[in-house]
């Protein structure tokens, strides 16, 4: 099917191509992606492309987990939360306390991190965002408040934990080999945990009553309220999810790299990029956008210095914002 | 990224004039930087979060032109401003069509991309070590000014005094100029765009073009701030141009008050004094904790201002784009 898409793209005149791309954004995206893969495989060989894609899958699932909370909060509350990256950092440090300071297995640390970050989200909703919504705060007001909050969390972490790099108690040397590809054991676990959680989230959003309510709020909060949905309860649950997934993503990121107070900010823009890729407010889009971004960023290292891979992510973000601000899967109505 | 505030002041003499001149130089550079934000946010209603990136382009262009091509420093300044305006157009042309919050994300991403490129394109920018040795022409001007100060009877002028004087002449001059420009028909159209873009368009004004002009001027102001930052430090490194610089600028902007150019200088002075004043309090904690504390206070001030007084000190509530 992808091949067919590509064929149509090549044959048709520019106008017809554009028409088609507009009518089938997802198919076009798959087609373009397929083209990129073909070019990459021809240029760099199948092994390198598959190997980088596998590593990209690990960062991608972390981005996806972080992005789904960010996009839900945006969709439902129209809040561009610049503090979301620091939620991830907060979660990672919570896991560090449990895992390294107290010497308890990381699994417990993960649960603690998810619980604490969810709690943080709920406290901030009650203490900050709900009152600001009641005052009908403007876009800039909310953005600057979230930046202030981001600074407080980030430098709060620096105040208590210092700036030194910290490592979670995980196995970083073991590798798994299959089909000629190599991946770290921890990274493999990250992919596994990430995908299980993401599929669970997808199913929850699609089929559970809470998920449907969340999507209803995201579509139109006033209408959802009129329809008898207890919006403030759903909003609280949204924060619980956003916080818990941010905490989980933070721990997974910390497990594959290292912990430092700035990590949250470093993750924030890739998360935004994933959200924008998938269409702001679209939870399924954010999941796909995160994984796609992780892989694309990792592919860029085939050609560019690895120090530039985040810059590639930002360029992708800007390009998508410019040519398709509603995201590659989104419908025009979100804009 | 850990310490984005330029702290090129002597640490051994907190109470000396030199210390306060240092604070003044930083506050002055921030004033020029934030005047651009005021033009964008306060008077045009576009949320430019990429100001630090424009500042980086200005400072790096100047440093590269002087050290690599040997162009005269004084000629390099206007050239770098033009380059920065060009970058402003490149960023603005596509992204100004976006909604406010998307524009904020796009500009912060552009600014981070610029910083990462500066960090990784070692051949051009010197990578993490940066560039130095571009300020000989400035040093000779500074010597001349010191000579004048001695003629005026200051027997041993502080080394920062010339920079302090020039920064503030430029900052006050630009503030005055911008306030005047704001009262011209052009300035009134900007405000119309901020208040109601559709209405401005209905009156035949090209809102997009006005926004683009506003962003370009702001980028030029960022470039000027970048020159002073570079001269003050005597080098340019990527770490100086992180997004935190923009966030600090926004804090000064909203503290001074939106839609008031004179509020910018006041916000900058109060903020810098407050942040540097922390050094006078003899806290029994480490340097890292004090650095962290400064930013925690910054964050709390931002939250508090936005929650309780979004119009800042000098801003008028009816001029506010917020909370309507």
Question: Residue A61: inside a domain, yes or no?
Answer: yes
**Neighbouring-strand partners of residue A181:** A178
Write a three-state SS string for chain B.
Answer: CCCCCCCCCCCCCCCCHHHHHHHHHHHHHHHHHHHHHHHHHHCCCCCCCCHHHHHHHHHHHHHHHHHHHCCCHHHHHHHHHHHHHHHHHHHHHHHCCCCHHHHHHHHHHHHHHHHHHHHHCHHHHCHHHCEECCCHHHHHHHHHHHHHHHHCCCCCCCCCHHHHHHHHHHHHHHHHHHHHHHCCHHHHHHHHHHHCHHHHHHCCCCHHHHHHHHHHHHHHHHHHHHHHHHHHHCEECHHHHCHHHHHHHHHHHHHHCCCCHHHHHHHHHHHHHHHHHHHHCCCCCCHHHHHHHHHHHHHHHHHHHHHHCCCCCCCCHHHCCCCC
Q: In chain B, what residues touch A327 (CB-CB under 8 Å)? A: none
The answer to whether the Cβ–Cβ distance between A145 and B303 falls below 8 Å is yes
Short-list B77, B35, B91, B66, CA closest to B216: B91
Whether chain A has a CB inside 8 Å of the CB on B128: the answer is: no
Nearest to B112 among A136, A140, A314 (CB): A314
The pLDDT of residue A331 is 56
Name A23's Cβ contacts closer than 8 Å, sequence gap at least 6.
Answer: none
pLDDT per residue as tens digits for the range A295-333: 988 888 888 877 788 888 888 888 887 777 777 766 544
Put simply, the answer to whether A147 touches B119 (Cβ < 8 Å) is no
Cβ–Cβ < 8 Å for A294, A56: yes
CATH number of residue A262's parent domain: 1.10.3470
Angle among Cα B195, B255, B258 to the nearest 5 degrees reads 15
**Band of the pLDDT at A19, cuts 50, 70, 90?**
confident
Q: Do A158 and B288 touch (CB under 8 A)?
A: yes
Would you tell me which residues 70-89 of chain B have a C-beta closer than 8 angstroms to some C-beta of chain A? none
Q: Tell me the C-alpha distance between B216 and B223, whole Å.
A: 11
How many Å lie between the alpha carbon of A73 and the closest alpha carbon of chain B? Answer: 14
Asked if B289 is an interface residue toward chain A (Cβ–Cβ < 8 A), one would say yes
Instruction: Assess if residue B8 is contained within a domain.
Output: no
Under-70 pLDDT residues of chain B:
1-15, 279-283, 316-324
Q: Is A13 left (phi over 0), alpha (psi -120 to 50) or beta?
A: beta
Flag if B299 and A325 touch (Cβ within 8 Å).
no
Report how many domains make up chain B.
1
Pick from A144, A163, A325: CB nearest B102:
A325
Residues shown for chain A: 335
What percentage of chain A has pLDDT greater than the value 70? Answer: 93
The answer to the question of residue B1 being in a domain is no
Is residue B33 within 8 Å of residue B55, measured between CB atoms? yes
Domain-embedded: residue B51: yes
Answer whether B94 touches A (CB < 8 Å).
yes
Rounded Cα distance between B167 and A51, Å, is 53
In this predicted structure, the answer to whether residue A282 has a pLDDT above a threshold of 90 is no
Cβ within 8 Å of residue B41, ≥6 positions away: A140, B47, B48, B250, B253, B258, B321
Residue B318's pLDDT is what? 61
Q: How many domains does chain A have?
A: 1
Cβ separation of A315 and B113 shorter than 8 Å? yes
Radius of gyration, CA atoms only, chain A: 20
What span, in angstroms and rounded, lies between the C-alpha atoms of B306 and A20? Answer: 46
**CB B305 within 8 Å of CB B253:** no
Domain that holds residue B52: 17-319
Question: Of B288, B299, B172, B175, which Cα lies nearest the Cα of B248?
Answer: B299
- What ipTM was predicted for this assembly? 0.84
| pLDDT exceeds cutoff 50 at A248 | yes
Contact flag B307-A265 (C-beta cutoff 8 Å): no
Domain span at A271: 45-334
Question: Is residue A2 in a domain?
Answer: no
Q: Which residues of A touch B120 (CB under 8 A)?
A: 305, 307-308, 311
Q: Distance (Å) from the C-alpha of residue B123 to the closest C-alpha of chain A?
A: 13
pTM here?
A: 0.86
pLDDT band at A335 (very low <50, low <70, confident <90, very high): very low
Determine, for residues B95 and A128 on separate chains, whether the beta-carbon distance falls below 8 Å: no
CA distance linking residue A206 with residue B159, whole number of Å: 67
Q: Are B110 and A143 an interchain contact pair (Cβ–Cβ within 8 Å)?
A: no
Per CB-CB distance under 8 Å, the chain A contacts of B98 are 321-322, 325
**Cα–Cα separations (whole angstroms), residue B66 to B53, B136, B226:** 20, 10, 15
> Which residue(s) pair with A182 in the sheet?
A177
Mutate to test the interface with A, among B97, B113, B123, B293 (most CBs of A within 10 A): B113
Looking at every residue in chain A, the average pLDDT score rounds to 83
How close A142 comes to chain B (CA, Å)?
A: 8
Q: Tokens for B108?
A: 């912060």
pLDDT for residue B319: 58
- CATH label of the domain that carries residue B146: 1.10.3470
Q: Do B116 and A131 touch (CB under 8 A)?
A: no
What is chain B's length? 324
CB B218 within 8 A of CB B40: yes
- Tell whether B53 is covered by a domain: yes
Query: How close, in Å, is residue B289 to chain A by CA atoms?
Result: 5
pLDDT higher at B8 or A199:
A199
pLDDT the model gives residue B281: 67
C-alpha–C-alpha distance, residues A278 and A286, integer Å: 5
Q: Do A156 and B100 touch (CB under 8 A)?
A: no
The verdict on residue A145 lying in a domain is yes
pLDDT digits (tens, 9 = 90+) for A43-64: 777 778 888 888 889 999 999 9
Torsion, CA B180, CA B182, CA B185, CA B188, rounded to 10: -160
Among B202, B223, B201, B203, CA closest to B211:
B201
**Residue A31 counted as domain residue:** no
Q: A192: closest CA among A255, A113, A283?
A: A255
Q: Alpha-carbon distance B104 to B50, whole Å?
A: 8
At residue B214, the pLDDT reads 94
Distance CA B247, CA B47 (A): 12
A35 touches B at CB < 8 Å: no
Specify the higher pLDDT residue, A12 or A202.
A202
């Amino acid at each position: 099917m992808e091949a067919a898409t590509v064929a149509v793209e090549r044959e048709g005149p520019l106008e017809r191509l554009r028409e088609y791309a507009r009518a089938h954004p997802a198919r076009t995206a798959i087609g373009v992606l397929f083209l990129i893969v073909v070019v990459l495989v021809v240029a760099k060989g199948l092994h390198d492309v598959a190997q980088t894609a596998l590593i990209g899958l690990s960062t991608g699932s972390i981005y996806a987990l972080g992005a789904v909370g960010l996009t839900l909060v945006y969709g439902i509350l129209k809040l561009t939360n610049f503090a979301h990256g620091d939620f991830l950092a907060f979660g990672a440090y919570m896991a560090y306390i449990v895992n390294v300071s107290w010497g308890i297995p990381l699994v417990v640390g993960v649960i603690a991190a998810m619980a604490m970050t969810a709690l943080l989200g709920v406290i901030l909703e009650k203490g900050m965002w709900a009152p600001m919504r009641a005052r009908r705060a403007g876009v800039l007001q909310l953005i600057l408040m979230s930046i202030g909050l981001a600074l407080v969390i980030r430098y709060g972490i620096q105040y208590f934990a210092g700036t030194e790099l910290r490592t979670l108690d995980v196995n970083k040397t073991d590798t798994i080999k299959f089909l000629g590809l190599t991946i770290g054991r921890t990274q493999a676990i990250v992919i596994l945990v990430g995908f299980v959680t993401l599929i669970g989230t997808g199913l929850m959003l699609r089929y559970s009553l809470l998920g449907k309510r969340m999507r209803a709020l995201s579509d139109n909060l006033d209408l959802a309220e009129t329809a008898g949905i207890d919006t403030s309860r759903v909003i609280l649950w949204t924060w619980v999810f956003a916080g818990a997934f941010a905490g989980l993503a933070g721990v997974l990121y910390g497990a594959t790299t290292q912990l430092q107070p700035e990590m949250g900010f470093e993750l924030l823009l890739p998360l935004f990029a994933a959200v924008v890729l998938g269409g702001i407010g679209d939870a399924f889009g954010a999941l796909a956008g995160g994984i796609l971004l992780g892989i694309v960023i990792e592919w860029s290292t085939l050609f560019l210095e690895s120090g530039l891979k985040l810059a590639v992510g930002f360029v992708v973000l800007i390009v998508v914002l410019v040519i398709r601000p509603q995201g590659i899967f989104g419908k025009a109505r979100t804009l | 990224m850990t310490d984005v505030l330029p702290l090129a002041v002597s640490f051994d003499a907190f109470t000396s004039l030199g210390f306060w001149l240092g604070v003044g130089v930083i506050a002055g550079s921030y004033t020029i930087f934030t005047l651009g934000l005021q033009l964008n946010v306060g008077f045009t209603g576009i949320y430019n979060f990429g100001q630090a990136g424009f500042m980086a382009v200005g400072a790096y262009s100047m440093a590269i032109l002087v050290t690599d091509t040997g162009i005269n420093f004084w000629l390099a300044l206007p050239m770098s401003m033009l380059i920065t305006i060009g970058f402003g157009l490149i960023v603005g042309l596509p992204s100004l069509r976006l909604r406010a919050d998307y524009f904020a994300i796009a500009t912060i991403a552009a600014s981070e991309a610029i910083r990462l490129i500066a960090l990784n394109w070692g051949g051009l920018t010197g990578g993490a070590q940066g560039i130095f040795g571009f300020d000989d022409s400035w040093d000779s001007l500074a010597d001349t000014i010191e000579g004048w100060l001695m003629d005026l009877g200051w027997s041993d002028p502080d080394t920062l005094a010339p920079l302090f004087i020039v920064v503030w002449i430029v900052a006050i001059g630009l503030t005055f100029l911008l306030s005047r420009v704001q009262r011209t028909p052009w300035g009134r159209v900007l405000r119309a765009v901020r208040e109601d873009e559709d209405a401005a368009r209905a009156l035949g004004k090209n809102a997009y073009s006005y926004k683009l002009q506003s962003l370009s001027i702001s980028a030029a102001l960022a470039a000027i701030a970048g020159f002073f930052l570079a001269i003050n430090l005597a080098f340019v490194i990527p770490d100086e141009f992180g997004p935190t610089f923009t966030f600090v600028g926004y804090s000064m902007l909203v503290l001074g008050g939106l839609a008031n150019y004179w509020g910018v200088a006041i916000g900058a002075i109060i903020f810098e004094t407050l942040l540097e004043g922390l050094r006078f309090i003899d806290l029994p904690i480490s340097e890292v904790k004090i650095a962290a504390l400064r930013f925690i206070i910054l964050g709390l001030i931002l939250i508090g201002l936005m929650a309780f007084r979004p119009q800042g000190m000098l801003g008028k509530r009816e001029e506010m784009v917020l909370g309507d």
